[in-house]
Each structure stands twice: as structure tokens, then as C-alpha cells.
Amino acid sequence: MRKNVLLLAAICLFYGGATAQTPFKKGSSVPEGAIVAYALPSSVIEIQVEAVHELFTAGPYARYAQKYLGMTAEMENRETFRLKSIALRTIVEADASQVYALEIKEKNASVNFLTLSAEGLIAMLTPTDAQETAFRLAVTEQGKFNDAGAEPNIGRDRVTLYKSVQTSAGYEKVPVQQNQLIEKNPERRAEEAANFLFNLRKKRVELISGETESSWNSDGLRAALEEIKRLEEEYLSLFLGKTTTGLQSAVFHVTPDAGLAKQLYVAFRFSGTQGLLPASNVAGRPITLELTPEKKTAELPANNFQSNDKRSPRIAYRLPDTVQVRINDGQTNLLQTRLLIYQFGQIMSIPANLKIK
């Protein structure tokens, strides 16, 4: 109702000036004294999508989790995506197939006509900012592990060396025991990390049960337990790995074509390993947009606009129709709502010389 009032209020500014308009087709010449004034509006459906990006990094001691912790751990890195949210809105832009050349004999009429266009009921033929598909992927750093360890990385091993000793019978090899510093292998470090984990858990039980010689106030005990929890999670991740998350977002646009018998469009595509993809990328499964016009404007009078009627020039305008909109992932419905879409509405007209007091 509000839009119709604005339309009538704006069109009343044309009274007193003889005007005429004709549909303007590509390649045709513009009548002398006319301007390519306006195009009827069309609706573009903007689809705003967000997906959660998860990156799992296997722990360096994953292969030893079962042996030292009795737990099963993933040993391969993986990257996954899952849909989080979908939002719809419509953007009004000019319909290039419904452009009209308007002949104006009153100078002030063109200025008044621009006022009408500014209300969005009749869109000027100007570029829209809703054309590009935009992607945004939050930076997700790969999980980093820090095995500071409670034991040094260098260990002492007792080895047996032999040296030659001269005897009455000649030279003989005599064993000599020596300690050597060697770098610990991953399994030994995993064993030490597991032992440290069990010591942390034992210490936590002692603190909670009070089986400790140290006295703690409530704040100190809370801080100690939080630090034990942090260390436990850090050391546990050496075996079970880490998962970091980010957010991927994208904006897609679909321009409905009312002339299609089946109103089904591929809005975008989605891959569990690549995330949000444009409709043209067949690497992902299609997420479809299904439209069902309610045809509420179908019972309105047919368009009475006559381009050759010089006695009573008229201004064409378009009323939108209500459309049921569904976003589907295969047989699963992700979103259902109702939108006003101009393309499915009725083209009407009103006398250019209408005067409203």
C-alpha cells in the first residue's frame, strides 16, 4: 500500500505536460526530444552463506596412543567444511528487457520523473552493485604442537666398547662400559609424554582429595587445577591431534526468469572438502533455489498500456508478486521463506496526466 501511494504521489507531478512513451528495443533509435528514461524493476535474489572450516592436524605421537594411553588416535590430517547459515534478501535492479523511451515536452517533468525513480518502483537503467560473487575465508592456522617435556631430549645410554690390550698372548679386545649422550627417538619421547600425563592426573587427584603436604587456599587451588588441565590438554593433543576452525562466507546472486516453466536454479555448490563453490564449479554438489509464485497479481487487469496512444499517454510500472522460496540440499530443505519478486508480477500503467489533489 505504501509503495502504491508513493507511486501515485510521484506520478502526479507529470500533470500539465503532454508526454508519450514507447518501449525501447536494442538497436532502435531514440525519438527526437525523448530520453531513455527508465526500465521496469526486476528482483535479484542475494544468497548469503556461511560455512565452518575445520582443519585437523594429527599429533606427532598418534601411532603410540594405543600403546601408551590405550586410546585410538587419527593419524592423517584432514580438512572439512559444513554449512552453518543461509540468509536471503532481494535487490532491485533494472530489467533490460523492459526499457522505455519517454518523450517529455515539459522541462520540469524529467526532474519529477527522477523523483519517481528514486522510490525504487521504477528503476533507472544504472549498474547495480549486486553482480559479483564474493568469497571470504578466515585464516585457519594449522595446529602447532609444543612438546616441551619434563625430561631433556638428550638421554644417557650405557654402551659397550672394546679396546685392544697387549697381553703375553698378543693383543686382545677387552669390553669397556661407557655412558653416551644420544638424542631420544619419537617413541621414547612419546613414552615420557604419556608418563607425564599420568603424573599430572595423579597430582590432580591428590590436590582434590587433599592428600598433599602443601596447603592451598581456594584461589591457589583453582589456579593449580586450571594449569594442570591446560598441561593435560596440551600433552594429550600430542597423541590425539588438534582441530582448528575458521569461517568461510560467500554471497551468490540468482536472477529469476519468469519465462521458465520450471523455476529451479542452482544457487551455488558445496563440497565437504572445498567448501562453498559457485554454481559453475561441478566439484561440489548443487544447492538449489526453488521458486513457487503465488500469482496474487494474476487477477489484476491486464496491461492497458498502448505505445501508439498519443491522446492519453501512460506510464508503465510493475507490481511484484509474492513467491515461495526454498533452498534445498538434495532432498533436505535448508531454508523456506516468502519474497516479493518483480518478474512474476503484473505490468500495469497509469495515465501520465493524472492529477491528485
Q: pLDDT tens digit string along 174-207? A: 666 655 556 678 888 888 889 999 999 998 888 8
305 has pLDDT over 70: no
Give the mean pLDDT of 5-21.
Answer: 37
Give the mean pLDDT of 129-157.
Answer: 51
Alpha carbon distance 252, 265 (integer Å):
12
Give the mean pLDDT of 256-271.
Answer: 95
Please tell me which of 110-114, 147-151, 161-165, 321-325 the model is most confident about, judged by mean pLDDT: 321-325
Alpha carbon distance 88, 97 (integer Å):
25
Neighbouring C-alpha atoms within 13 Å toward the C-beta of 240: 13
Given the C-alpha cell 504521489, which residue does it identify?
9
Give the mean pLDDT of 237-266.
Answer: 93
Q: Is the pTM of this model over 0.95?
A: no
Q: Which pairs with CB-CB distance under 8 Å and at least 24 residues apart come from 133-136?
A: 133/250, 133/251, 133/252, 133/253, 133/278, 134/250, 134/251, 135/248, 135/249, 135/250, 135/276, 136/248, 136/249, 136/250
Residue 129: φ, ψ to 5°: -95, 15
Spatial strand order of the sheet with 134-137 comes to 19-23, 78-104, 34-57, 242-254, 134-137
By CB neighbour count within 10 A (0-12 exposed, 13-18 middle, 19+ buried), where does 349 fall?
A: middle
C-beta of residue 210 within 8 angstroms of C-beta of residue 22: no
Alpha carbon distance 103, 98 (integer Å):
16
**pLDDT band per the 50, 70, 90 thresholds, residue 112:** very low
CA neighbor of 274 nearest in space, from 10, 81, 65: 81
Convert the pLDDT of each residue in 80-108 to its tens digit.
Answer: 999 999 999 998 888 878 877 666 555 54
* C-alpha cell recorded at residue 313: 499517454
By CB neighbour count within 10 A (0-12 exposed, 13-18 middle, 19+ buried), where does 127 fall?
A: exposed
Alpha carbon distance 302, 299 (integer Å):
8
Find the helix packing angle between 2-11 and 107-118, rounded to 10°: 170
Alpha carbon distance 22, 234 (integer Å):
74
156 has pLDDT over 70: no
Convert the pLDDT of each residue in 318-336 to its tens digit.
Answer: 888 999 999 999 999 999 9
